[in-house]
Amino acid sequence: MLATNQEVIGLGEALIVEGAVPRRAVTDAFHIAIATVHEMNVLLTWNCTHLANAEILGSVSRVIRSRDYEPPVICTPDELIGE
């Protein structure tokens, strides 16, 4: 299990405060933060509302990179495997 620490909390809060992830999706913001801080290459999800969503990925990446992290690739299993 990946740990939640101050870095994760700070990044998760930033994703919400800066509007990259809606406030109602706080759990999703912290999933992104945990994957990012622990340097995961991919965050695999079926959640296309607030995670694997092309409309928000640019904002999410911008917030993550502004804090000197590299964002994981966020995608669905179908996108990862291809057809």
Domain spans of the chain, in order of start: 6-81
* pTM summary value: 0.92
Dump pLDDT digits (tens) for 58-75: 999 999 999 999 999 999
- Side chain identity, residue 54: A
Could you tell me which residues come within 8 angstroms of residue 64 by beta carbon, excluding any fewer than 6 positions away? Answer: 11, 15, 32, 36, 70, 71
Mean pLDDT, residues 10-39 = 97
The length of the chain in residues reads 83
